[in-house]
C-alpha cells in the first residue's frame, strides 16, 4: 500500500492529523508505523482502500495480502484514475432500506429484514432540518459537481474542497432544493447538526453505501 501511494504520488494535506484519521476509521489504525502514516492516509483520502469483508474496520497490518486482494486493490487504483469502470456490486448485496435517525445521527442499512451496517452521519442544522418521512432513492452520482445555492458558484468534481465529496445519493426534492447522502472534506462535521438538510457521511462510508443502493431503495427518515 505504501508503494502504491508513493508510486501514484498521492498528495496529503499537511494539516491532516494522520494518526487521528487512521484511528477514526480502523480499529487497529493506531498500529500504523510512522513511516507509513502519510501514504496510508493519502490512500484513504482518495477512497482507495482494502479491507476484508469479514473485518471491514481492520487493516490486518501483519496479514500477508493474497493474489485476489492485490488484484482488487490494483483495479481500484485504476478505477480511481478512471482508466477502468468501477466494480459493480453483486445484485444479491443490494440494500433495500435505509433507516435514518436524526436524533441519533446515524443511518442503518438493511438487506431485506437483515441489518447490514450502521453509519454515523451529519444532519441538517436548525432552520435547515433534514426532511422527515418515507422516500425512495431518486438519483445517484459519482464525482458530482457542487453548485452554491446562494451564489451559483460551482466546485467541480474531484476538487478536494467539493462539499459533496466523491458520491451523491439523492432521495428528496421539492423541485428546486435537494436532500441526500454525500461525502465531505470535513470529517469533523460527521455526527453534528451542521448541514443544509443533507446527510454527510465519511467518504469511505458513502463509497461503500453508494455501491449497495439503487433507485428501489427505501429511505425512512425519523426524529
| Residues 34-48: tens digit of each pLDDT | 999 888 888 877 767
CB 143 within 8 A of CB 157: yes
Catalytic-role residue among 55, 116, 196, 198? 198
Taking the model in full, what pTM does it have? 0.60
Answer yes or no: 182 catalytic: yes
Answer yes or no: 198 catalytic: yes
Mean pLDDT of 133-162: 88
Q: Which residues contact 181 (CB under 8 A, 6 or more apart)?
A: 107, 121, 167, 168, 169, 171, 198, 199, 200, 201, 206, 209
pLDDT of residue 43: 82
Amino acid at each position: 500500500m505504501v508503494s502504491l501511494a508513493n508510486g501514484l504520488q498521492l498528495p496529503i494535506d499537511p494539516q491532516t492529523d494522520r494518526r487521528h484519521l487512521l484511528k477514526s476509521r480502523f480499529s487497529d489504525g493506531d498500529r500504523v508505523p510512522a513511516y507509513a502514516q502519510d501514504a496510508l492516509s493519502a490512500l484513504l483520502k482518495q477512497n482507495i482502500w482494502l479491507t476484508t469483508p469479514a473485518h471491514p474496520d481492520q487493516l490486518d497490518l501483519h496479514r500477508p495480502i493474497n493474489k485476489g486482494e492485490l488484484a482488487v486493490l490494483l483495479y481500484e487504483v485504476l478505477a480511481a484514475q478512471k482508466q477502468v469502470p468501477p466494480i459493480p456490486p453483486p445484485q444479491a448485496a443490494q440494500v433495500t432500506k435505509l433507516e435514518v435517525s436524526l436524533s441519533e445521527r446515524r443511518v442503518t442499512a438493511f438487506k431485506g429484514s437483515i441489518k447490514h451496517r450502521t453509519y454515523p452521519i451529519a444532519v441538517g442544522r436548525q432552520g435547515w432540518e433534514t426532511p422527515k418521512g418515507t422516500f425512495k432513492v431518486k438519483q445517484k452520482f459519482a464525482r458530482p459537481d457542487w453548485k452554491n445555492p446562494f451564489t451559483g458558484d460551482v466546485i467541480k468534481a474531484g476538487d478536494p474542497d467539493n462539499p459533496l465529496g466523491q458520491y451523491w445519493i439523492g432521495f428528496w426534492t421539492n423541485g428546486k432544493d435537494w436532500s441526500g447522502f454525500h461525502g465531505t472534506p470535513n470529517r469533523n462535521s460527521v455526527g453534528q447538526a451542521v448541514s443544509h438538510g443533507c446527510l454527510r457521511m465519511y467518504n469511505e462510508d458513502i463509497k461503500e453505501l453508494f455501491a449497495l443502493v439503487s433507485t428501489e431503495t427505501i429511505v425512512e427518515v425519523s426524529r
